[in-house]
Chain A
């Protein structure tokens, strides 16, 4: 086990994307193992939610900005991609970058309030912006109003149409892993350290030469781009989008993913996304009890497990390291 870890670490040092490429290859045969299309659909939804949670974690966990408007960005991504495809007849491969860019621009708008506001005020402003998006969509005829947009084309490459969950899996899975890869590397770089400085103390970050506003905006734009990408993938996966896909319920589910996984912990938010999506899908037949449990879970996690699963993992790892150190010392003393 340790040998494998060591090998991965060495590979990572010499060629960072390598472990991720291996991961992509490991995930490739999944559609062959799944029993039916529904299971693969589930996996696709999990990958999309991982993208959303990773994006939300950048701004919320690493930059410490309380945003509740993320679902609005998700909606913008999905609608942009769908509308560009339907009205201009372009392919998915143009619609996806368009959606990412448009959502990134919208992220600037959601991010600007963070210059002057923090905490609950910022939550209010972003809630207002995110919710305006949904209400605007459901009241505008051009955007499908309350009927939603249907017949969104499937992605295709040179005549191959990705019309089944088992096919579109090969688009969603690599993009999602690429997203995690980029996120991990950003957070490891100077930008990531600047985010953490802004989160822990904006004033001392500013005195240490971190351009607080710039990095807040960068965090918002990055997370918006993740949301836009996830939205676009979602639109082309289910081919039908409706304003009800982007309600505050979804926002709380998203929050739950990040909080359960642990704020500011990339691995944790992935675990959170997987768990919450699975529970969400398995309890779908009982929507009222499902949300009852989700709401209570969010409350109880915040109270009793504020660091989430990521915090538990970190604690486990650090304890193990500590125990090993002690053992080494004891061995040295015995010699």
Chain B
């Protein structure tokens, strides 16, 4: 029982970790908290589901298409809407209430865009992963294994991209200081778009990975947003390794809570962790230099 719960919590935690990674990436790169990130996850899942069922592509190809599609959508949204707001102060600043309200409005808009395109009934995302793995009395569905493998692979790729490529270096420079990066000849606006696109692609990856477990529906983005935030805050907002660790902590805690305490209140545990960490140690596990008073 315990091992089962931890294993499943770990896999779900990877999903939260991917979303949190995107949120942290946007926060550290663009200095904004993106409240419509859950909708990116939802759109990723929907694009994946549509491609998979309509075009009959293989699951890995579906994955790639969903990632690219969502990344493109994210880039357009950032370029058209958020940049007007954040560029107001002569560059990217820690925008206050405006960007928060803007994010919520955008989340509502995207959710209902999905409502208009795909109606609100939950849709199945039927991917066959084969039989569950059974070791002794541990029962581990193969789809969870897939999640862990794909999520870890994505995280490794992201790490290599950010640490060991020139483009990654440019993104890190941009995150550090936009003015100086610009003076050093880095195309800052492009890097901002790229960062946002990568973050949205990570959310889409989480959506496509979770799709085969749950049904795909337009309201799925909202809860994951708060769980992703909880994960990001636990690890330290803006810290990338922290986001992954935070995701796993939130996932396991939620799974154990649902197993041992009460399944009804499953969704509240993440909120409680979020509030507790914000109150006690707002800088998180991997304490990062906070840009806001926290």
Task: Report whether chain A binds chain B.
Answer: yes
Judged by a CB distance under 8 angstroms, whether A187 is at the interface is no
What is the bound-complex CA distance between A5 and B16, given in angstroms?
Answer: 58
Judged by a CB distance under 8 angstroms, whether B145 is at the interface is no
What class of interface size applies to chain B in its complex with A? 35 or more
Partner pick for A118 among B101, B267, B268, B292, CB 8 A cutoff: B292
Which of chain B's residues have a CB closer than 8 A to the CB of A135? 265, 267-268, 271
Partner pick for B109 among A121, A128, A296, A303, CB 8 A cutoff: A296
Whether A303 touches B101, Cβ cut-off 8 Å, given contacts A136-B268, A292-B116, is: no
B111 pairs with A291, CB closer than 8 A: yes
Partner pick for B271 among A128, A290, A294, CB 8 A cutoff: A128
Which of chain A's residues have a CB closer than 8 A to the CB of B149? none
Judged by a CB distance under 8 angstroms, whether B108 is at the interface is yes
Point out which of B113, B268, B282 has the most chain A C-beta atoms below 10 A from its C-beta: B268
A60 pairs with B102, CB closer than 8 A: no
A139 pairs with B107, CB closer than 8 A: no
Which of chain A's residues have a CB closer than 8 A to the CB of B286? none
Tell me the smallest distance from the CB of B149 to a CB of chain A, in Å.
31
Point out which of A132, A288, A298, A299 has the most chain B C-beta atoms below 10 A from its C-beta: A299
Chain A, range 203-243, C-beta contacts under 8 Å to B? none
Contact with A along B23-50 (1 / 0, CB 8 A): 0000000000101000000000000000
Chain B, range 235-294, C-beta contacts under 8 Å to A? 237, 264-265, 267-268, 271-272, 274-275, 278-279, 282, 292-294
What is the bound-complex CA distance between A302 and B36, given in angstroms?
Answer: 15
Contact with A along B73-116 (1 / 0, CB 8 A): 00000000100110000000010111111101111111111011
A123 pairs with B102, CB closer than 8 A: no
Whether A119 touches B105, Cβ cut-off 8 Å, given contacts A66-B97, A288-B112, A288-B115, is: no
Which of chain B's residues have a CB closer than 8 A to the CB of A118? 292-294
Judged by a CB distance under 8 angstroms, whether A120 is at the interface is yes
What is the bound-complex CA distance between A94 and B285, given in angstroms?
Answer: 47
Which of chain B's residues have a CB closer than 8 A to the CB of A123? 33, 35, 100
What is the bound-complex CA distance between A139 and B264, given in angstroms?
Answer: 6
B107, closest chain A residue (CB): A295
Judged by a CB distance under 8 angstroms, whether A323 is at the interface is no
B85 pairs with A128, CB closer than 8 A: no
B105 pairs with A297, CB closer than 8 A: yes
| Chain B binding surface SS class | helix
What class of interface size applies to chain A in its complex with B? 35 or more
A121, closest chain B residue (CB): B294
Whether A124 touches B294, Cβ cut-off 8 Å, given contacts A289-B112, A302-B85, is: no
Count of A-B residue pairs with CB < 8 Å: 141
B104, closest chain A residue (CB): A252
B292 pairs with A131, CB closer than 8 A: no
Which of chain A's residues have a CB closer than 8 A to the CB of B144? none
A295 pairs with B271, CB closer than 8 A: no
Chain A, range 101-158, C-beta contacts under 8 Å to B? 112-113, 116-121, 123-125, 127-129, 131-132, 135-136, 139-140
Which of chain B's residues have a CB closer than 8 A to the CB of A139? 264-265, 268
Which of chain A's residues have a CB closer than 8 A to the CB of B125? none
Which of chain B's residues have a CB closer than 8 A to the CB of A68? 100, 104
B265 pairs with A128, CB closer than 8 A: no
A253, closest chain B residue (CB): B108
B116 pairs with A295, CB closer than 8 A: no
Whether A303 touches B81, Cβ cut-off 8 Å, given contacts A121-B292, A131-B271, A298-B108, is: yes
Which of chain A's residues have a CB closer than 8 A to the CB of B99? 302
A127, closest chain B residue (CB): B226
Judged by a CB distance under 8 angstroms, whether B222 is at the interface is yes
Judged by a CB distance under 8 angstroms, whether A99 is at the interface is no
A-B contact pairs, 22 of them (CB 8 A): A113-B278, A116-B279, A119-B96, A120-B292, A124-B33, A124-B229, A125-B275, A129-B275, A248-B222, A255-B104, A256-B105, A289-B112, A291-B108, A291-B112, A292-B113, A295-B111, A298-B101, A298-B102, A298-B108, A302-B85, A302-B102, A306-B98
Known: A128-B226, A128-B275. 7 other contacts (CB 8 A): A66-B96, A68-B104, A119-B100, A123-B35, A129-B275, A255-B104, A298-B104
Residues of chain B having any CB pair with chain A under 8 Å:
33, 35, 81, 84-85, 94, 96-102, 104-113, 115-116, 222, 226, 229-230, 233, 237, 264-265, 267-268, 271-272, 274-275, 278-279, 282, 292-294
Q: Which 9 A-B pairs have the closest CB atoms?
A: A298-B105, A295-B109, A295-B108, A120-B33, A139-B264, A292-B112, A128-B271, A288-B115, A299-B105
